[in-house]
A and B are shown apart, each in its own frame.
Chain A
Amino acid sequence: MTDTTTPAGKRPRRSMKTSTSVIVADKVADWTIRIGGLGVIAAVFGIMLFLALVVVPLFTGASVDGSHTVEKPITGGRPLMDIVDEYKTLSVSVDDAGQVHAFHIKTGTQLDVPAYDFGDKALTAFARTLNGRDIAFGFSDGTLRLATVKVGGAVINTADVPGDLRRLTNEDATDGKAIYTAVSADQTRRVSIDIALGDAQQVAPAGTAIVAADYRMGGAAERPTISFVTVDANGIGRLSRSESKTNMMTGVTTTSLTSSELPGLPQGVTVRTVLMTDKADQVYVVDAGGVVYRYDTRAFDVPQLAETIDLLPGDVTVGAISFLIGEQSLVVAGSDGSVNTFFRLQDGTTKNSDGYVLTRAHEMEKHGSAVVAMDASQRGKMFVTADAKGEIWLRHSTSEQTLLKLKPAEGKPSYHAIALAPRENGVLAVADDGKVYAWDISAPHPETTLKTIFGKVWYEGYPAPGYTWQSSSGTDAFEPKLSLIPLIFGTVKATFYSLLFAIPIALGAAIYTSEFVHPKVRAVVKPTMELMASLPSVVLGFIAALILAPIVETWIAAIFLGFVVIPAGLFFSAYLWQLLPSRIALRYGGLPKFALIFVSLAVFGTLAFLGAPVFETVFFGGDLKAWANGSVGSSVPFTALIAFPFAFTAVYLGSNDIVTRNLGFILRGEDRTRAGVVDFAGWVAMLIIAGVIATAVAFALVGLGIDPRGGVVGTYVQRNTLVVGFAMGFAVIPIIYTISEDALNTVPEHLRAASLACGATPWQTATRVIVPTAMSGIFSAIMVGMGRAVGETMIVVMAAGNTPLMEWNVFNGLRALSANIAVELSEAVRDSTLYRMLFLAALTLFVITFVVNTLAELVRQRFRKRTAQL
């Protein structure tokens, strides 16, 4: 710095120091940029982490949040069942003397509950519904009494709560009859028990004890119908129905009882349990050894023995047996510790009168000792089993997993009854010494394991294990079927067919643009193709679904013919072009030739359009859609059509050497037109040979039973994969085109020049020098295009029909991962299983595209390095 002081020397020297503001600005910028930059990078990786965090709970099974033991709240008779209310406030158990024991689970404080008054009769049978609200007692004199236990929580105003409450915990208080829990400042929940016992109904002959019973309520509220099934000490099973009618005029209720006998029970059978399904259309009589007599009771008056089957072979006895929710699946636990789930399946080969066979669908992990008690969930396919050694296992039937193994801290209690809390958040077990063991558990996603998501799962009522996606339905007992495989399949199918369409066009166009057109044409053509990339995909989807799909449906034959005629036509035009004298061919080899290609496309496109009806008649029996269904026509012509390109390629490659050596030699001497004629003839000959071969192959394949129908073609629906492929082409073609054209263009000019200088034709230069050099760039272009196709959402949402099918049929729809997320996520409850499953779907997409793109990027970098070396 030249700092000269004035002669007067009065002006101060300018400071050499950098001013503070500059330093501060520099520091601030430094830190802002660093933090901002690193922050963005961290955020970007946070996405993956966040998705993973949401997904993880799907696989964590269940956990125990706490446990405690209540000392002897239950004294007296043997507990028959134990139920817990929805809020895990109260436990209620009913014993064989009719006593009802209710106590506060956390503290063991007993409540005053009246007992069921059986009079002097001895209880011989007991039945309950899944939620334990409706129960039935059978007595030694052959009577049956229905009863209810209502454990209800009602929200009342705090002001209405009685004053003199005994405090149990911070939240709970009691007046001896109910538990009061404050839920908010002015609201309190009152959980209380309400029991009722119906009149005795003489079902079996007087004096013959009822040994087993079950019943279901039906009918309307004003005309209740109660169906029940009983087995008496003589081994006679009865199906009874009691209907109550209230006379509108008099208000008097009359009850009528009708009974019919279950046929075919063997003499002297010791019945352990009878079970009846929800609609009273099935009755299962189970003997002690695990033999099930299944009755078809749809015709109530004439029940039929549909099936007799031993569910526990050998001398294993039944430890516990119960329906799961929906009452279609039956869980049978044996004295050997085995636990299996069975359900009815339709079987064409069976001789059973109703065509169904009870099939073992799930084999659960075996207990170490005999199973003594079981309770099933009221909201899902979860259940708990207790064994003789005092272990309680929490299981899920469909996923076949054991979620938790609970064991008291000390001792080996023998349990009388166990209960799974209605919200699946607690387990309660009543031991024979009157102790009650309670666990707080959480099992938010019992139905998902890696196996259920990615493997085959046998769902209730399905003929075999399979991959199914069906996340919601109208009924309560519906079990969501969450296999990602059909969705991944849909994504793969959409990607495959769209790439099948896009890759040839994009690569062909890229090679042509880069090598065979004038730079001026290229300057117009390339941006035009790139314009395609900026079309919003919602627009593509709309056009595909509402405009393209009906057109494709109407002109499907013409489109198929176009796939054949247009390539053939282009070849045909090329051979015609070869007939032109060299002078003309050279002169018009630029833009006019390109224009001629358009003309040729138009001509052969029109031909395809006009020839469609004839084509449909010859190849598809006159109606393509009916043909695809398999209802008309033969598969041979179409198979030949598919085989033809392969046959032609084989013929071409096979004959190439011979033809080039001989024909090529002859041609070289001739003038252009005559050589063109010979070449043309050669092509026609190859077409004919290929046609013959393809037809022969088609006959052979169809003869062997390989039929494209049912495979790549089948039932036609309007929104199908073909349409998706077309529409997705618009999204994918420009990407593959641009990147591969760039790759071709960056091949150093000297390679091109050297090849041409050596006498290679432009075609030889392109195929043997340029394309191989740019191969990795082209590969990376295809990968990026694939990444786009995998994640494309709106097109598949709108045009793919969204049916989660697993077939390659190009005429049918699909449901892709992305579309599934878009359709279902807005309706999924936060943190529910479906919500997390959709996050898993997103994570899967993320991972797929990340891997594909990283691969593409690595290949591209390699390519750059390679071209730099050239």
Chain B
Amino acid sequence: MSAMADTIHMPAETSAMSTATVRRTDMRSRGEPALWSLGGALAIGIIMILGFLALVFSNGVATFIPKPIIVVTGIDGTVTAGEPFRSELFKPTAEELAALSPEWQARIKDANGYANRTLYRLGNFDIYGEDFRWVPDFAVAKFEQPKNLIFVERAEWGPFVGTVKSFTIDGAEQAFTGLGATAFEKAHADARDRAAAIRKLERGQIGAVNHELEQERLKVRKVEISAGKTSAAYKAAQDNLAEVSVDLQRRYDAATADVTKLREVDARNTLTLAEIGGREKTIPFSALVRAYAANDLSLAQKVGVYFSRWAEFLSDEPREANTEGGVFPAIFGTAAMTLLMVLVVAPFGILTALYLREYAKQGRLVAFVRISVNNLAGVPSIVYGVFGLGFFAYVLGGSIDALFYPERLPNPTFGTGGLLWSALTLSLLTVPVVIVATEEALAAVPRSMREGSLACGASKWQTIRYIVLPRAMPGVMTGIILAMARGAGEVAPLMLVGVVKLAPELPIDGFFPYVHLERSFMHLGFHIFDVGFQSRNAEAGKPMVFVTTVLLIALVTLVNATAIIVRSRLKKRFAGSQF
């Protein structure tokens, strides 16, 4: 109730006044409790976002820190060696409780029936058949951190936790003296070089042979379609294929011979590892990615391991169904797709905004179009994905295939998801962002400037080109960069139009025509989804997902920040030229 209403209804008020009490505002009208609720809402919002970022970044940044290996001896004598992964409270079952010592039973009872347990990352999947093991605190007899334990990252089967028994160089067994020993390090470096050489041969020479052979086959098929199987041209093409095949076969044989030779050498350089229980495993040296004595690392070594892991993450290809290794193809795919999208979205967005603001007659129709464009920004991204698949990939791509690539059918070339279609789909999704931003920027250019330019005899285009657009540029750039940020973080539509779990080839490579817009690609956002939800063991992939998440958020934030900086810079640049 307002104070005024009170004075009307309450004659007593006057007497209170007359006794000269200080007239205070009614405490209830300050709404203090409600105010605190509103403040609480804001505080919750801030806690949510900061907590979220803290969670993601702490996990993501800490992932690559080498952790100690702890050997847990259970009260039943079982020995578990592994990296402590995470701990949580849980409710032990009645049977578990019954088997415990009275002391533990009392402790758990004090904790309302909860006990703590720790998840250990065991490694050695090929021996144990499990990656992780929960060890409840009450089942532990003792913890140890032996210095001789080594954490080995392998190219296959995930990490190995144990000791190095021995290693052989060129068939000769060597005594293992330590990870830092020159012989060991050299053997490792040689093996990595060999692996790289094998990969180069397979990807480069053998890949080229396969590619050329495929091209020749397609040529023949093309002739067959155009001229028929009985034509002379077909016969000639087939002869040509046979001729070329001989040469290609020779090159292929040569390359495979080299690979075989390297593999033979590789097989003679091995490493024998032993897990904590003594079971041994021999792996080729080239399968060793990284090894370190987890419990015997100096700070410098830790930092070294940490950064070498980051380097691997940013520059390498994924291993182990994407749960290990790097994400370079995903970074590349995300960047390529986003740039391609900008190439499409920028001109069209700006053209539309120019049309709406500078050319179209401002009336009901344009107002309606403007509302629609605004609304399109709110249409769910998945709808664009559906459209992209149905129209771009199936209708447009299908027609392109039928017209230009009939020799490859029924295998689709453009008739399925790919980089181009993804970029186009995302352009549709983000074009409203650019249109709205550009329009606002155009509207902010004073009318007087246009009129001045036109009065000086400049044509409409000259006015736009030299007067309006430069002044609107900060807004336009902001719009484009915001569109990039939106595009880079979007996943749902891409799942339909071309993103894949693992793309064997990058969209840009050394084969003609060098840029392959029809190829499917990897994407950071989809990588998160895939590793987190579709891998063999979600737990094993979790660290990787966190790091990828940090990378994606950093990327999106970076793009957004760029937008802000660009805007302020350009604003400054043009500030002086305002009338």
**Interface segment out of the listed A42-50, A380-388, A444-452:** A42-50
Is there contact, CB below 8 Å, between A512 and B39? yes
Find chain A residues with CB under 8 A from B3 CB.
759
Closest B residue to A676 using CB positions: B27
Contact A504 to B461, CB < 8 A, known contacts A536-B490, A543-B55, A570-B33: no
Given the complex of chains A and B, what is the CA–CA distance between A764 and B3 in angstroms?
A: 11
Q: Let me know if B32 is at the binding interface, CB within 8 A.
A: yes
Q: Which of B44, B228, B462, B529 contacts A601 (CB 8 A)?
A: B44
- For chain B residues 342-385, which have a beta carbon within 8 Å of chain A? 347-349, 351-356, 358-360, 369, 371-376, 378-385
Shortest beta-carbon distance, A67 to chain B, in Å?
Answer: 31
Q: Which of B352, B394, B532 contacts A36 (CB 8 A)?
A: B352
Find chain A residues with CB under 8 A from B390 CB.
50-51, 54, 839
> 0/1 per residue, B384-396, Cβ < 8 Å to A?
1111011100100
Find chain B residues with CB under 8 A from A858 CB.
371
Find chain B residues with CB under 8 A from A148 CB.
none
Q: Let me know if B41 is at the binding interface, CB within 8 A.
A: yes
Given the complex of chains A and B, what is the CA–CA distance between A512 and B485 in angstroms?
A: 29
Q: Which of B23, B113, B380 contacts A793 (CB 8 A)?
A: B380
Is there contact, CB below 8 Å, between B26 and A664? yes
Q: Tally inter-chain residue pairs, CB-CB below 8 A.
A: 355
Q: Let me know if A760 is at the binding interface, CB within 8 A.
A: yes
Find chain B residues with CB under 8 A from A546 CB.
532, 538, 542, 545
Find chain B residues with CB under 8 A from A818 CB.
380, 382, 492
Find chain B residues with CB under 8 A from A39 CB.
348
Shortest beta-carbon distance, A215 to chain B, in Å?
Answer: 41
Contact A857 to B371, CB < 8 A, known contacts A737-B45, A793-B492, A846-B379: yes
Given the complex of chains A and B, what is the CA–CA distance between A534 and B49 in angstroms?
A: 11
> 0/1 per residue, B1-42, Cβ < 8 Å to A?
111001001101100100001011111111111111111111
Shortest beta-carbon distance, A775 to chain B, in Å?
Answer: 16
Q: Let me know if A511 is at the binding interface, CB within 8 A.
A: yes
Q: Which of B28, B32, B46, B557 contacts A664 (CB 8 A)?
A: B28
Is there contact, CB below 8 Å, between B28 and A660? yes
Is there contact, CB below 8 Å, between A761 and B16? no
Q: Which of B2, B40, B384, B485 contacts A508 (CB 8 A)?
A: B40
Find chain A residues with CB under 8 A from B386 CB.
51, 821, 825, 838-839, 842
Is there contact, CB below 8 Å, between A601 and B47? yes
Shortest beta-carbon distance, A116 to chain B, in Å?
Answer: 42
Is there contact, CB below 8 Å, between B36 and A577? yes
Q: Which of B348, B371, B525 contacts A536 (CB 8 A)?
A: B525
Find chain B residues with CB under 8 A from A600 CB.
36, 40
Q: Which of B34, B44, B529 contacts A794 (CB 8 A)?
A: B529
Best-surrounded residue of A44, A537, A571 (most CB of chain B within 10 A): A44
Q: Which of B89, B389, B435, B491 contacts A538 (CB 8 A)?
A: B491
Find chain A residues with CB under 8 A from B358 CB.
33
Q: Let me know if B125 is at the binding interface, CB within 8 A.
A: no
Closest B residue to A529 using CB positions: B45
Q: Which of A41, A661, A679, A733 contacts B369 (CB 8 A)?
A: A41
> 0/1 per residue, A654-685, Cβ < 8 Å to B?
00010111011101110010011001000100
Closest A residue to B36 using CB positions: A574
Is there contact, CB below 8 Å, between A849 and B378? yes
Is there contact, CB below 8 Å, between A186 and B40? no
Find chain B residues with CB under 8 A from A761 CB.
25, 29-31
Shortest beta-carbon distance, B564 to chain A, in Å?
Answer: 9
Main secondary structure on A side of the interface with B: helix
Q: Let me know if B553 is at the binding interface, CB within 8 A.
A: yes
Given the complex of chains A and B, what is the CA–CA distance between A528 and B557 in angstroms?
A: 12
Is there contact, CB below 8 Å, between B28 and A529? no
Given the complex of chains A and B, what is the CA–CA distance between A791 and B352 in angstroms?
A: 26
- Interface bracket on A: 35 or more
Is there contact, CB below 8 Å, between A574 and B33? yes
Q: Let me know if B242 is at the binding interface, CB within 8 A.
A: no
Closest B residue to A671 using CB positions: B24
Q: Which of B459, B491, B496, B549 contacts A18 (CB 8 A)?
A: B459
Q: Let me know if A628 is at the binding interface, CB within 8 A.
A: no
Q: Let me know if A779 is at the binding interface, CB within 8 A.
A: no
Q: Let me know if B43 is at the binding interface, CB within 8 A.
A: yes
Find chain A residues with CB under 8 A from B52 CB.
532, 535, 543, 730
Closest A residue to B555 using CB positions: A536
Given the complex of chains A and B, what is the CA–CA distance between A598 and B40 in angstroms?
A: 7
Given the complex of chains A and B, what is the CA–CA distance between A18 and B491 in angstroms?
A: 51
Find chain B residues with CB under 8 A from A29 CB.
460-461, 464-465
Shortest beta-carbon distance, B405 to chain A, in Å?
Answer: 18
Find chain A residues with CB under 8 A from B36 CB.
570-571, 573-574, 577, 597, 600
Is there contact, CB below 8 Å, between A537 and B41? no
- For chain A residues 785-802, which have a beta carbon within 8 Å of chain B? 787-788, 790-794, 797-798
Best-surrounded residue of B352, B373, B428, B553 (most CB of chain A within 10 A): B352
Is there contact, CB below 8 Å, between B49 and A511? no
Q: Let me know if B254 is at the binding interface, CB within 8 A.
A: no
Closest A residue to B32 using CB positions: A574
Shortest beta-carbon distance, A497 to chain B, in Å?
Answer: 16
Q: Let me know if A153 is at the binding interface, CB within 8 A.
A: no
Q: Let me know if A588 is at the binding interface, CB within 8 A.
A: no
Q: Let me know if B50 is at the binding interface, CB within 8 A.
A: yes
Given the complex of chains A and B, what is the CA–CA distance between A858 and B358 in angstroms?
A: 24
Is there contact, CB below 8 Å, between A512 and B529? no
Is there contact, CB below 8 Å, between A853 and B378? yes
Given the complex of chains A and B, what is the CA–CA distance between A545 and B2 in angstroms?
A: 50
Q: Let me know if B495 is at the binding interface, CB within 8 A.
A: yes
Find chain A residues with CB under 8 A from B30 CB.
761-763
Q: Let me know if B259 is at the binding interface, CB within 8 A.
A: no
Is there contact, CB below 8 Å, between B532 and A542? yes
Q: Let me know if B143 is at the binding interface, CB within 8 A.
A: no
Q: Let me know if A696 is at the binding interface, CB within 8 A.
A: no
Q: Let me know if A355 is at the binding interface, CB within 8 A.
A: no
Given the complex of chains A and B, what is the CA–CA distance between A601 and B387 in angstroms?
A: 46
Given the complex of chains A and B, what is the CA–CA distance between A441 and B90 in angstroms?
A: 63
Shortest beta-carbon distance, A192 to chain B, in Å?
Answer: 27
Best-surrounded residue of B40, B47, B374, B525 (most CB of chain A within 10 A): B40
Given the complex of chains A and B, what is the CA–CA distance between A513 and B40 in angstroms?
A: 11
Q: Let me know if A751 is at the binding interface, CB within 8 A.
A: no
Contact A541 to B40, CB < 8 A, known contacts A791-B380, A846-B383: no
Closest A residue to B371 using CB positions: A857
Contact A668 to B40, CB < 8 A, known contacts A505-B45, A554-B88: no
Q: Let me know if A767 is at the binding interface, CB within 8 A.
A: yes
Find chain A residues with CB under 8 A from B495 CB.
822, 826
Q: Let me know if A263 is at the binding interface, CB within 8 A.
A: no
- For chain A residues 823-843, which have a beta carbon within 8 Å of chain B? 825-826, 830, 838-839, 842
Find chain A residues with CB under 8 A from B31 CB.
761, 763-764, 767
Is there contact, CB below 8 Å, between A542 and B459? no
Closest A residue to B28 using CB positions: A664
Closest A residue to B552 using CB positions: A536
Contact A542 to B529, CB < 8 A, known contacts A36-B347, A566-B40, A849-B379: yes
Given the complex of chains A and B, what is the CA–CA distance between A758 and B409 in angstroms?
A: 79
Closest A residue to B380 using CB positions: A791
Shortest beta-carbon distance, B282 to chain A, in Å?
Answer: 35
Find chain B residues with CB under 8 A from A672 CB.
24, 27
Chosen A-B contacts, 21 in total, with CB atoms closer than 8 Å, are: A25-B462, A26-B460, A37-B360, A51-B386, A512-B41, A529-B45, A539-B552, A546-B542, A566-B40, A574-B33, A574-B36, A664-B26, A665-B10, A668-B26, A679-B27, A787-B378, A791-B382, A793-B382, A839-B390, A845-B380, A850-B379
Residues on B facing A (Cβ under 8 Å): 1-3, 6, 9-10, 12-13, 16, 21, 23-50, 52-53, 55-56, 88-90, 112-113, 228-229, 347-349, 351-356, 358-360, 369, 371-376, 378-387, 389-391, 394, 428, 431, 435, 457, 459-462, 464-465, 485, 488-492, 495-496, 525-526, 528-529, 532-533, 538, 542, 545, 549, 552-553, 556-557, 560
Going nearest first, the 7 A-B pairs with the smallest beta carbon separation are: A791-B380, A37-B355, A508-B41, A536-B489, A763-B31, A36-B351, A793-B492
